[in-house]
Structure 1
Protein backbone atom coordinates (compact mmCIF):
# COMPACT_ATOMS: atom_id res chain seq x y z
CA UNK A 1 0.00 0.00 0.00
CA UNK A 2 1.13 3.55 -0.76
CA UNK A 3 0.50 6.03 2.05
CA UNK A 4 0.56 9.77 1.49
CA UNK A 5 0.76 12.57 4.07
CA UNK A 6 -1.79 15.36 4.34
CA UNK A 7 0.44 18.03 2.82
CA UNK A 8 1.17 16.03 -0.35
CA UNK A 9 -2.48 14.99 -0.50
CA UNK A 10 -3.47 18.66 -0.26
CA UNK A 11 -1.08 19.76 -3.01
CA UNK A 12 -2.33 17.07 -5.39
CA UNK A 13 -5.97 18.00 -4.78
CA UNK A 14 -5.31 21.72 -5.18
CA UNK A 15 -3.64 21.08 -8.52
CA UNK A 16 -6.48 18.80 -9.59
CA UNK A 17 -9.16 21.37 -8.72
CA UNK A 18 -7.31 24.33 -10.22
CA UNK A 19 -6.71 22.53 -13.52
CA UNK A 20 -10.22 21.01 -13.59
CA UNK A 21 -8.74 17.69 -14.70
CA UNK A 22 -10.56 14.39 -14.38
CA UNK A 23 -7.58 12.03 -14.44
CA UNK A 24 -7.69 11.23 -10.73
CA UNK A 25 -10.31 9.49 -8.61
CA UNK A 26 -10.93 10.46 -4.99
CA UNK A 27 -12.69 7.82 -2.85
CA UNK A 28 -14.24 8.22 0.60
CA UNK A 29 -14.48 4.74 2.18
CA UNK A 30 -16.55 5.76 5.21
CA UNK A 31 -20.24 4.93 5.57
CA UNK A 32 -22.72 6.71 3.33
CA UNK A 33 -24.17 8.67 6.24
CA UNK A 34 -20.72 9.92 7.31
CA UNK A 35 -19.97 10.82 3.70
CA UNK A 36 -23.16 12.87 3.44
CA UNK A 37 -22.38 14.80 6.62
CA UNK A 38 -19.07 16.01 5.20
CA UNK A 39 -16.39 14.89 2.77
CA UNK A 40 -13.57 16.15 0.58
CA UNK A 41 -14.74 18.05 -2.51
CA UNK A 42 -15.12 15.78 -5.52
CA UNK A 43 -14.91 12.52 -3.55
CA UNK A 44 -17.22 9.65 -4.40
CA UNK A 45 -18.39 7.20 -1.75
CA UNK A 46 -17.39 3.53 -1.98
CA UNK A 47 -17.71 1.36 1.10
CA UNK A 48 -18.49 -2.25 1.98
CA UNK A 49 -21.93 -2.73 3.57
CA UNK A 50 -22.12 -5.30 6.42
CA UNK A 51 -24.14 -7.67 4.26
CA UNK A 52 -21.21 -7.83 1.81
CA UNK A 53 -18.60 -8.08 4.56
CA UNK A 54 -20.23 -11.30 5.69
CA UNK A 55 -19.68 -12.60 2.16
CA UNK A 56 -16.00 -11.59 2.31
CA UNK A 57 -15.55 -13.35 5.66
CA UNK A 58 -16.97 -16.51 4.13
CA UNK A 59 -14.46 -16.37 1.30
CA UNK A 60 -16.76 -14.83 -1.27
CA UNK A 61 -15.69 -12.30 -3.90
CA UNK A 62 -17.27 -8.88 -4.26
CA UNK A 63 -17.02 -6.13 -6.86
CA UNK A 64 -17.25 -2.81 -5.07
CA UNK A 65 -16.14 -1.01 -8.22
CA UNK A 66 -19.75 -1.34 -9.40
CA UNK A 67 -20.61 1.36 -6.86
CA UNK A 68 -18.62 3.83 -8.97
CA UNK A 69 -21.05 3.77 -11.87
CA UNK A 70 -20.38 2.84 -15.49
CA UNK A 71 -18.77 6.13 -16.54
CA UNK A 72 -16.00 6.05 -13.93
CA UNK A 73 -15.49 2.30 -14.40
CA UNK A 74 -14.94 2.83 -18.12
CA UNK A 75 -12.43 5.61 -17.44
CA UNK A 76 -10.52 3.30 -15.10
CA UNK A 77 -10.50 0.41 -17.56
CA UNK A 78 -9.37 2.61 -20.46
CA UNK A 79 -6.61 4.29 -18.47
CA UNK A 80 -8.20 7.75 -18.40
CA UNK A 81 -7.80 7.84 -14.62
CA UNK A 82 -4.17 7.64 -13.64
CA UNK A 83 -4.33 7.78 -9.85
CA UNK A 84 -6.71 6.90 -7.06
CA UNK A 85 -6.63 8.67 -3.69
CA UNK A 86 -8.49 7.12 -0.78
CA UNK A 87 -9.27 8.13 2.80
CA UNK A 88 -11.32 6.98 5.79
CA UNK A 89 -11.87 7.95 9.42
CA UNK A 90 -8.42 6.66 10.40
CA UNK A 91 -9.68 3.22 11.40
CA UNK A 92 -7.47 1.23 9.03
CA UNK A 93 -4.22 2.90 10.10
CA UNK A 94 -5.12 2.35 13.75
CA UNK A 95 -6.08 -1.31 13.45
CA UNK A 96 -4.70 -2.59 10.15
CA UNK A 97 -7.82 -4.73 9.86
CA UNK A 98 -8.14 -6.57 6.56
CA UNK A 99 -11.92 -6.51 7.06
CA UNK A 100 -11.95 -2.71 7.21
CA UNK A 101 -13.71 -0.78 4.46
CA UNK A 102 -10.42 0.80 3.44
CA UNK A 103 -8.64 -2.50 2.82
CA UNK A 104 -11.62 -4.10 1.03
CA UNK A 105 -12.14 -1.07 -1.22
CA UNK A 106 -8.41 -0.77 -1.91
CA UNK A 107 -8.30 -4.44 -2.95
CA UNK A 108 -11.24 -3.91 -5.31
CA UNK A 109 -9.72 -0.80 -6.89
CA UNK A 110 -6.38 -2.51 -7.47
CA UNK A 111 -8.18 -4.88 -9.83
CA UNK A 112 -8.76 -1.92 -12.14
CA UNK A 113 -5.50 0.02 -11.81
CA UNK A 114 -1.94 -0.78 -10.82
CA UNK A 115 -1.61 -0.80 -7.02
CA UNK A 116 1.32 1.64 -7.25
CA UNK A 117 -1.20 4.26 -8.45
CA UNK A 118 -3.49 3.85 -5.43
CA UNK A 119 -2.67 6.20 -2.56
CA UNK A 120 -4.09 6.23 0.97
CA UNK A 121 -4.24 9.32 3.18
CA UNK A 122 -2.22 8.72 6.35
CA UNK A 123 -4.42 10.88 8.56
CA UNK A 124 -8.15 10.61 9.19
CA UNK A 125 -10.67 12.70 7.31
CA UNK A 126 -11.41 14.80 10.42
CA UNK A 127 -7.73 15.63 10.83
CA UNK A 128 -7.46 16.62 7.18
CA UNK A 129 -10.63 18.70 7.47
CA UNK A 130 -9.25 20.68 10.41
CA UNK A 131 -6.15 21.62 8.44
CA UNK A 132 -7.74 22.15 5.02
CA UNK A 133 -11.42 23.02 5.61
CA UNK A 134 -11.71 24.84 2.26
CA UNK A 135 -11.25 21.51 0.47
CA UNK A 136 -14.14 19.91 2.34
CA UNK A 137 -17.87 19.97 1.81
CA UNK A 138 -20.43 19.92 4.62
CA UNK A 139 -24.15 19.14 4.61
CA UNK A 140 -24.97 22.73 5.62
CA UNK A 141 -26.14 24.31 2.37
CA UNK A 142 -25.63 27.82 3.73
CA UNK A 143 -21.90 27.19 4.18
CA UNK A 144 -21.07 25.27 1.04
CA UNK A 145 -18.43 26.87 -1.18
CA UNK A 146 -19.41 27.59 -4.81
CA UNK A 147 -16.85 25.05 -6.02
CA UNK A 148 -18.49 22.42 -3.82
CA UNK A 149 -21.92 23.11 -5.28
CA UNK A 150 -20.59 22.77 -8.82
CA UNK A 151 -18.82 19.53 -7.88
CA UNK A 152 -22.03 18.12 -6.41
CA UNK A 153 -23.99 19.06 -9.54
CA UNK A 154 -21.36 17.45 -11.76
CA UNK A 155 -21.42 14.24 -9.75
CA UNK A 156 -25.21 14.09 -9.93
CA UNK A 157 -25.17 14.66 -13.70
CA UNK A 158 -22.77 11.73 -14.02
CA UNK A 159 -25.13 9.55 -12.00
CA UNK A 160 -28.07 10.56 -14.19
CA UNK A 161 -26.16 9.53 -17.31
CA UNK A 162 -25.19 6.23 -15.71
CA UNK A 163 -28.69 5.25 -14.63
CA UNK A 164 -30.71 6.68 -17.50
CA UNK A 165 -30.30 3.45 -19.47
CA UNK A 166 -31.74 1.27 -16.70
CA UNK A 167 -33.68 -1.29 -18.74
CA UNK A 168 -36.51 -1.99 -16.32
CA UNK A 169 -37.71 -1.09 -12.82
CA UNK A 170 -35.82 -2.72 -9.96
CA UNK A 171 -37.74 -4.74 -7.39
CA UNK A 172 -37.16 -3.70 -3.77
CA UNK A 173 -39.98 -5.87 -2.43
CA UNK A 174 -42.39 -8.13 -4.28
CA UNK A 175 -44.91 -5.26 -4.39
CA UNK A 176 -42.53 -2.29 -4.61
CA UNK A 177 -40.34 -1.22 -7.53
CA UNK A 178 -38.12 1.78 -8.14
CA UNK A 179 -37.69 3.17 -11.64
CA UNK A 180 -37.00 6.24 -13.76
CA UNK A 181 -38.85 8.30 -16.36
CA UNK A 182 -37.97 5.87 -19.15
CA UNK A 183 -39.48 2.98 -17.21
CA UNK A 184 -42.60 5.04 -16.52
CA UNK A 185 -43.13 5.52 -20.26
CA UNK A 186 -42.90 1.80 -21.06
CA UNK A 187 -46.39 0.40 -20.59
CA UNK A 188 -45.58 -3.13 -21.70
CA UNK A 189 -42.61 -3.41 -19.35
CA UNK A 190 -44.65 -2.35 -16.33
CA UNK A 191 -47.53 -4.67 -17.19
CA UNK A 192 -45.12 -7.60 -17.58
CA UNK A 193 -43.88 -6.97 -14.03
CA UNK A 194 -47.43 -6.81 -12.70
CA UNK A 195 -47.18 -3.15 -11.73
CA UNK A 196 -50.63 -1.67 -11.10
CA UNK A 197 -49.87 1.73 -9.55
CA UNK A 198 -47.31 4.47 -10.18
CA UNK A 199 -46.03 7.02 -7.68
CA UNK A 200 -44.54 9.89 -9.69
CA UNK A 201 -42.14 11.92 -7.51
CA UNK A 202 -41.26 14.70 -9.94
CA UNK A 203 -42.50 17.96 -11.37
CA UNK A 204 -41.49 17.15 -14.95
CA UNK A 205 -42.43 13.52 -15.71
CA UNK A 206 -45.79 12.88 -17.34
CA UNK A 207 -48.37 10.30 -16.28
CA UNK A 208 -48.65 8.50 -19.61
CA UNK A 209 -51.22 5.76 -18.96
CA UNK A 210 -53.89 7.09 -16.62
CA UNK A 211 -56.48 4.58 -17.84
CA UNK A 212 -54.19 1.62 -17.16
CA UNK A 213 -52.56 2.39 -13.79
CA UNK A 214 -53.48 4.11 -10.55
CA UNK A 215 -51.38 7.27 -10.23
CA UNK A 216 -50.27 9.56 -7.46
CA UNK A 217 -48.05 12.54 -8.22
CA UNK A 218 -45.79 14.30 -5.73
CA UNK A 219 -44.70 17.35 -7.70
CA UNK A 220 -41.31 18.30 -6.22
CA UNK A 221 -37.89 19.36 -7.43
CA UNK A 222 -34.62 17.66 -6.56
CA UNK A 223 -32.95 20.48 -4.65
CA UNK A 224 -31.97 21.54 -1.16
CA UNK A 225 -35.08 23.64 -0.54
CA UNK A 226 -37.64 20.88 -1.18
CA UNK A 227 -39.50 19.52 1.84
CA UNK A 228 -40.08 15.96 0.69
CA UNK A 229 -40.63 14.69 4.24
CA UNK A 230 -44.11 16.19 4.38
CA UNK A 231 -45.12 13.70 1.67
CA UNK A 232 -43.73 10.59 3.38
CA UNK A 233 -47.03 9.62 5.03
CA UNK A 234 -49.13 9.98 1.89
CA UNK A 235 -46.57 8.00 -0.09
CA UNK A 236 -46.58 5.21 2.50
CA UNK A 237 -50.38 5.09 2.42
CA UNK A 238 -50.44 4.91 -1.37
CA UNK A 239 -47.94 2.03 -1.54
CA UNK A 240 -49.63 0.07 1.26
CA UNK A 241 -53.10 0.56 -0.18
CA UNK A 242 -51.97 -0.94 -3.46
CA UNK A 243 -50.30 -3.83 -1.67
CA UNK A 244 -53.51 -4.62 0.23
CA UNK A 245 -55.37 -4.66 -3.10
CA UNK A 246 -52.90 -7.28 -4.30
CA UNK A 247 -51.17 -4.82 -6.61
CA UNK A 248 -47.64 -3.52 -7.09
CA UNK A 249 -46.35 0.06 -7.06
CA UNK A 250 -43.48 1.59 -8.99
CA UNK A 251 -41.96 4.74 -7.48
CA UNK A 252 -40.09 6.89 -9.98
CA UNK A 253 -38.66 10.35 -10.56
CA UNK A 254 -36.59 11.54 -13.52
CA UNK A 255 -33.49 9.38 -13.03
CA UNK A 256 -34.59 7.08 -10.19
CA UNK A 257 -31.70 8.27 -8.05
CA UNK A 258 -32.72 10.94 -5.53
CA UNK A 259 -36.43 11.71 -5.07
CA UNK A 260 -37.80 8.22 -5.70
CA UNK A 261 -34.98 6.65 -3.68
CA UNK A 262 -35.83 8.93 -0.75
CA UNK A 263 -39.49 7.85 -0.82
CA UNK A 264 -38.54 4.17 -1.00
CA UNK A 265 -36.12 4.55 1.90
CA UNK A 266 -38.78 6.26 4.00
CA UNK A 267 -41.27 3.50 3.19
CA UNK A 268 -38.90 0.67 4.13
CA UNK A 269 -37.80 2.45 7.32
CA UNK A 270 -41.41 2.99 8.41
CA UNK A 271 -42.81 -0.43 7.63
CA UNK A 272 -39.87 -2.34 9.09
CA UNK A 273 -39.11 0.09 11.92
CA UNK A 274 -35.43 0.05 11.00
CA UNK A 275 -32.82 2.80 10.89
CA UNK A 276 -31.76 4.69 7.79
CA UNK A 277 -28.39 2.98 7.52
CA UNK A 278 -29.98 -0.49 7.41
CA UNK A 279 -32.62 0.61 4.92
CA UNK A 280 -30.01 2.32 2.75
CA UNK A 281 -27.80 -0.76 2.63
CA UNK A 282 -30.76 -2.88 1.57
CA UNK A 283 -31.83 -0.56 -1.25
CA UNK A 284 -28.23 0.02 -2.36
CA UNK A 285 -27.65 -3.75 -2.57
CA UNK A 286 -30.40 -3.90 -5.21
CA UNK A 287 -29.87 -0.59 -6.99
CA UNK A 288 -26.33 0.78 -6.87
CA UNK A 289 -27.02 4.23 -8.31
CA UNK A 290 -29.05 5.91 -5.59
CA UNK A 291 -28.03 9.27 -4.21
CA UNK A 292 -30.61 11.31 -2.26
CA UNK A 293 -29.43 14.91 -2.06
CA UNK A 294 -28.04 16.14 1.24
CA UNK A 295 -31.27 17.82 2.29
CA UNK A 296 -33.26 14.63 1.67
CA UNK A 297 -30.75 12.65 3.74
CA UNK A 298 -31.23 15.07 6.62
CA UNK A 299 -35.00 14.70 6.31
CA UNK A 300 -34.64 10.91 6.39
CA UNK A 301 -32.50 11.13 9.52
CA UNK A 302 -35.21 13.19 11.19
CA UNK A 303 -37.83 10.67 10.05
CA UNK A 304 -35.65 7.89 11.47
CA UNK A 305 -36.11 9.31 14.98
CA UNK A 306 -39.87 9.20 14.54
CA UNK A 307 -39.75 5.66 13.16
CA UNK A 308 -37.62 4.31 15.97
CA UNK A 309 -39.48 5.97 18.85
CA UNK A 310 -41.29 3.61 21.22
CA UNK A 311 -44.76 4.84 20.28
CA UNK A 312 -44.72 5.61 16.56
CA UNK A 313 -47.30 7.98 15.19
CA UNK A 314 -49.76 6.00 13.05
CA UNK A 315 -50.60 6.96 9.51
CA UNK A 316 -53.80 9.00 9.58
CA UNK A 317 -56.39 7.40 7.30
CA UNK A 318 -58.45 9.61 5.04
CA UNK A 319 -61.52 7.44 5.54
CA UNK A 320 -62.53 4.35 7.46
CA UNK A 321 -59.74 1.81 7.59
CA UNK A 322 -59.01 -1.77 8.52
CA UNK A 323 -55.71 -3.25 9.64
CA UNK A 324 -54.68 -6.40 7.76
CA UNK A 325 -52.68 -9.24 9.19
CA UNK A 326 -48.93 -8.84 9.47
CA UNK A 327 -46.63 -9.83 6.66
CA UNK A 328 -43.05 -11.00 6.39
CA UNK A 329 -40.27 -8.81 5.04
CA UNK A 330 -37.09 -9.62 3.13
CA UNK A 331 -34.42 -11.85 4.61
CA UNK A 332 -31.87 -9.15 5.37
CA UNK A 333 -29.45 -9.96 8.15
CA UNK A 334 -31.00 -10.46 11.55
CA UNK A 335 -33.65 -7.81 11.71
CA UNK A 336 -35.37 -8.21 15.05
CA UNK A 337 -37.56 -5.12 14.92
CA UNK A 338 -41.28 -5.83 14.62
CA UNK A 339 -43.10 -4.97 11.44
CA UNK A 340 -45.19 -1.83 11.67
CA UNK A 341 -48.27 -2.31 9.52
CA UNK A 342 -49.96 0.75 8.07
CA UNK A 343 -53.76 0.87 7.85
CA UNK A 344 -55.34 0.59 4.45
CA UNK A 345 -56.95 3.62 2.90
CA UNK A 346 -59.41 3.63 0.03
CA UNK A 347 -58.50 6.38 -2.44
CA UNK A 348 -61.20 5.46 -4.91
Structure 2
Protein backbone atom coordinates (compact mmCIF):
# COMPACT_ATOMS: atom_id res chain seq x y z
CA UNK A 1 0.00 0.00 0.00
CA UNK A 2 1.42 3.38 -1.01
CA UNK A 3 1.77 6.32 1.35
CA UNK A 4 -0.98 8.17 -0.55
CA UNK A 5 -3.35 5.21 -0.12
CA UNK A 6 -2.62 5.16 3.62
CA UNK A 7 -3.41 8.88 3.85
CA UNK A 8 -6.68 8.45 1.98
CA UNK A 9 -7.67 5.56 4.26
CA UNK A 10 -6.97 7.73 7.33
CA UNK A 11 -8.91 10.63 5.81
CA UNK A 12 -11.94 8.38 5.34
CA UNK A 13 -11.85 7.56 9.07
CA UNK A 14 -12.01 11.23 10.11
CA UNK A 15 -15.22 12.56 11.58
CA UNK A 16 -16.93 15.25 9.49
CA UNK A 17 -16.89 18.76 10.92
CA UNK A 18 -19.03 21.82 10.50
CA UNK A 19 -17.33 25.22 10.34
CA UNK A 20 -18.96 28.63 10.47
CA UNK A 21 -17.04 31.13 8.35
CA UNK A 22 -17.55 34.91 8.58
CA UNK A 23 -16.11 36.94 5.72
CA UNK A 24 -14.82 40.50 6.10
CA UNK A 25 -18.05 41.89 4.65
CA UNK A 26 -20.08 40.09 7.34
CA UNK A 27 -21.47 37.24 5.25
CA UNK A 28 -21.68 34.00 7.26
CA UNK A 29 -21.53 30.48 5.85
CA UNK A 30 -21.59 26.95 7.17
CA UNK A 31 -19.08 24.64 5.54
CA UNK A 32 -19.54 20.89 5.95
CA UNK A 33 -17.37 18.83 3.67
CA UNK A 34 -17.84 20.26 0.20
CA UNK A 35 -21.26 21.75 1.05
CA UNK A 36 -21.48 25.50 1.73
CA UNK A 37 -24.70 27.04 3.08
CA UNK A 38 -25.24 30.77 3.63
CA UNK A 39 -26.59 31.86 7.01
CA UNK A 40 -27.24 35.32 8.45
CA UNK A 41 -26.33 37.15 5.24
CA UNK A 42 -27.18 40.59 6.66
CA UNK A 43 -24.78 40.73 9.63
CA UNK A 44 -21.43 42.44 10.02
CA UNK A 45 -18.18 40.57 10.62
CA UNK A 46 -17.50 42.81 13.61
CA UNK A 47 -19.31 44.56 16.42
CA UNK A 48 -20.84 47.79 15.20
CA UNK A 49 -20.21 50.66 17.59
CA UNK A 50 -22.85 53.31 17.09
CA UNK A 51 -21.87 55.44 20.09
CA UNK A 52 -19.26 58.11 19.46
CA UNK A 53 -16.18 58.05 21.71
CA UNK A 54 -15.89 61.82 21.64
CA UNK A 55 -14.92 62.81 25.17
CA UNK A 56 -11.19 63.48 25.47
CA UNK A 57 -9.56 62.44 28.74
CA UNK A 58 -7.10 64.71 30.55
CA UNK A 59 -4.22 62.46 31.69
CA UNK A 60 -1.75 65.15 32.71
CA UNK A 61 -1.47 68.94 32.65
CA UNK A 62 -2.72 70.08 29.23
CA UNK A 63 -2.50 66.54 27.75
CA UNK A 64 -5.73 64.98 26.48
CA UNK A 65 -6.02 61.55 24.90
CA UNK A 66 -8.85 60.00 22.94
CA UNK A 67 -10.05 58.29 19.81
CA UNK A 68 -10.46 59.84 16.38
CA UNK A 69 -14.01 60.78 17.43
CA UNK A 70 -12.40 63.47 19.63
CA UNK A 71 -10.49 64.95 16.71
CA UNK A 72 -13.36 66.96 15.31
CA UNK A 73 -13.70 70.74 15.44
CA UNK A 74 -16.74 70.78 17.75
CA UNK A 75 -14.93 68.72 20.42
CA UNK A 76 -11.66 70.61 19.95
CA UNK A 77 -13.43 73.94 20.45
CA UNK A 78 -15.44 72.67 23.45
CA UNK A 79 -12.25 71.57 25.28
CA UNK A 80 -10.11 74.56 24.19
CA UNK A 81 -7.65 72.23 22.45
CA UNK A 82 -5.02 74.13 20.44
CA UNK A 83 -2.96 71.22 19.05
CA UNK A 84 -3.74 67.73 17.78
CA UNK A 85 -1.24 64.89 17.45
CA UNK A 86 -2.68 62.28 15.08
CA UNK A 87 -1.14 58.81 15.19
CA UNK A 88 -1.81 56.86 12.01
CA UNK A 89 -5.11 58.65 11.31
CA UNK A 90 -5.24 61.87 9.32
CA UNK A 91 -7.86 64.36 10.40
CA UNK A 92 -8.93 67.77 9.15
CA UNK A 93 -9.10 70.20 12.07
CA UNK A 94 -8.85 73.97 12.45
CA UNK A 95 -5.99 73.87 14.98
CA UNK A 96 -2.29 73.00 14.71
CA UNK A 97 -2.18 69.34 13.69
CA UNK A 98 0.83 67.03 13.49
CA UNK A 99 0.35 63.68 11.73
CA UNK A 100 2.66 60.77 12.49
CA UNK A 101 2.42 57.71 10.28
CA UNK A 102 2.34 54.83 12.74
CA UNK A 103 0.94 51.32 12.47
CA UNK A 104 -0.54 49.58 15.50
CA UNK A 105 1.55 46.43 15.13
CA UNK A 106 3.92 44.93 17.71
CA UNK A 107 6.87 45.25 15.32
CA UNK A 108 6.67 49.06 15.20
CA UNK A 109 9.70 50.60 16.90
CA UNK A 110 8.32 53.18 19.30
CA UNK A 111 11.66 54.97 19.78
CA UNK A 112 11.29 56.63 16.36
CA UNK A 113 7.67 57.49 17.13
CA UNK A 114 8.53 58.98 20.53
CA UNK A 115 11.38 61.07 19.11
CA UNK A 116 8.79 62.88 16.97
CA UNK A 117 5.88 62.95 19.42
CA UNK A 118 7.27 63.76 22.85
CA UNK A 119 9.00 67.09 22.04
CA UNK A 120 5.85 68.23 20.21
CA UNK A 121 3.69 67.41 23.26
CA UNK A 122 6.21 69.03 25.60
CA UNK A 123 6.18 72.30 23.62
CA UNK A 124 2.38 72.42 23.84
CA UNK A 125 2.29 71.61 27.55
CA UNK A 126 5.03 74.09 28.48
CA UNK A 127 3.16 76.75 26.48
CA UNK A 128 0.11 75.88 28.63
CA UNK A 129 -1.95 74.98 25.58
CA UNK A 130 -4.10 71.86 25.48
CA UNK A 131 -3.08 69.08 23.13
CA UNK A 132 -5.08 66.05 22.06
CA UNK A 133 -3.19 62.86 21.22
CA UNK A 134 -5.36 60.40 19.32
CA UNK A 135 -5.28 57.37 17.06
CA UNK A 136 -8.18 55.39 15.63
CA UNK A 137 -9.64 53.94 18.84
CA UNK A 138 -7.49 55.71 21.43
CA UNK A 139 -6.42 52.36 22.83
CA UNK A 140 -2.92 51.29 21.77
CA UNK A 141 -0.91 53.97 19.95
CA UNK A 142 -2.40 56.85 21.94
CA UNK A 143 -1.80 55.18 25.29
CA UNK A 144 1.75 54.24 24.28
CA UNK A 145 2.62 57.88 23.62
CA UNK A 146 0.86 59.11 26.79
CA UNK A 147 2.63 56.52 28.96
CA UNK A 148 6.00 57.34 27.37
CA UNK A 149 5.36 61.04 28.00
CA UNK A 150 4.80 60.37 31.71
CA UNK A 151 7.88 58.13 31.89
CA UNK A 152 10.07 60.71 30.19
CA UNK A 153 8.87 64.07 31.49
CA UNK A 154 7.29 63.08 34.83
CA UNK A 155 10.02 60.49 35.50
CA UNK A 156 7.57 57.72 36.33
CA UNK A 157 8.16 54.01 36.05
CA UNK A 158 6.24 52.15 33.38
CA UNK A 159 3.81 50.75 35.95
CA UNK A 160 3.12 54.15 37.53
CA UNK A 161 2.51 55.77 34.15
CA UNK A 162 0.40 52.85 32.91
CA UNK A 163 -1.72 52.88 36.07
CA UNK A 164 -2.43 56.61 35.77
CA UNK A 165 -3.42 56.43 32.10
CA UNK A 166 -5.47 53.25 32.70
CA UNK A 167 -7.30 54.86 35.63
CA UNK A 168 -8.26 57.83 33.45
CA UNK A 169 -9.16 55.82 30.31
CA UNK A 170 -9.83 52.16 31.19
CA UNK A 171 -10.03 51.14 27.52
CA UNK A 172 -6.29 51.69 26.93
CA UNK A 173 -4.17 48.69 26.02
CA UNK A 174 -0.82 49.10 24.29
CA UNK A 175 -0.23 46.13 21.99
CA UNK A 176 2.23 43.49 23.25
CA UNK A 177 5.19 44.90 21.30
CA UNK A 178 4.53 48.46 22.46
CA UNK A 179 4.14 47.33 26.06
CA UNK A 180 7.43 45.42 26.02
CA UNK A 181 9.25 48.46 24.62
CA UNK A 182 7.59 50.78 27.16
CA UNK A 183 8.63 48.50 30.02
CA UNK A 184 12.25 48.81 28.88
CA UNK A 185 12.25 52.62 29.00
CA UNK A 186 14.19 54.47 31.69
CA UNK A 187 12.37 57.30 33.50
CA UNK A 188 13.62 60.67 32.27
CA UNK A 189 15.65 59.08 29.45
CA UNK A 190 13.19 58.01 26.75
CA UNK A 191 14.35 60.11 23.80
Q: TM-score, normalised by structure 1?
A: 0.40
CA distance in 1, matches of 2:77, 2:111: 30
CA displacement at 1:246 relative to structure 2: 2.4
Residue 66 of structure 2 is aligned to residue 179 of structure 1: yes
CA distance in 2, matches of 1:238, 1:297: 22
- Among candidates 206, 209, 213, match of residue 95 of structure 2: 213
In structure 2, the CA distance between the partners of 1:161 and 1:294, relative to structure 1 (3 Å rule), is farther
Q: Secondary structure at the match of 2:153?
A: helix
CA displacement at 1:244 relative to structure 2: 2.2
Whether the 8 Å CA contact 1:172–1:283 is kept in 2: the answer is yes
Q: Secondary structure at the match of 1:230?
A: helix
Whether the 8 Å CA contact 2:54–2:66 is kept in 1: the answer is no
Q: Deviations over 1:33-73 (max 9, x none)?
A: xxxxxxxxxxxxxxxxxxxxxxxxxxxxxxxxxxxxxxxxx
Aligned to 1:198: 84
Whether the 8 Å CA contact 1:220–1:228 is kept in 2: the answer is no
CA distance in 2, matches of 1:221, 1:183: 19
Aligned to 1:148: none
CA RMSD of aligned residues (A): 2.3
Q: Which has the larger radius of gyration?
A: 2
Alignment of 1:312-331 (within 5 A): 312=189
Unpaired runs of 5+ in structure 2?
1-18, 21-45
- Across the two proteins, how many residue pairs are aligned to each other? 148
Whether the 8 Å CA contact 2:54–2:67 is kept in 1: the answer is no
CA displacement at 1:214 relative to structure 2: 1.3
Residue 151 of structure 2 is aligned to residue 269 of structure 1: yes
CA displacement at 1:245 relative to structure 2: 2.2
Unpaired runs of 5+ in structure 1?
1-18, 21-156, 316-348
Q: Deviations over 1:82-133 (max 9, x none)?
A: xxxxxxxxxxxxxxxxxxxxxxxxxxxxxxxxxxxxxxxxxxxxxxxxxxxx
- Among candidates 133, 138, 151, match of residue 256 of structure 1: 138
CA distance in 2, matches of 1:297, 1:206: 24
More helix by share: 1
Higher relative contact order (CA 8 A, sep 6+): 2
CA displacement at 1:197 relative to structure 2: 0.5
CA displacement at 1:161 relative to structure 2: 4.7
Residue 133 of structure 2 is aligned to residue 227 of structure 1: no
CA displacement at 1:234 relative to structure 2: 2.3
CA displacement at 1:240 relative to structure 2: 1.0
In structure 2, the CA distance between the partners of 1:168 and 1:219, relative to structure 1 (3 Å rule), is same
More strand by share: 2
Alignment of 1:60-99 (within 5 A): none
Q: Secondary structure at the match of 1:190?
A: helix
- Among candidates 170, 173, 177, match of residue 57 of structure 2: 170
CA distance in 2, matches of 1:183, 1:215: 13
Aligned to 1:24: none
Whether the 8 Å CA contact 2:102–2:113 is kept in 1: the answer is no
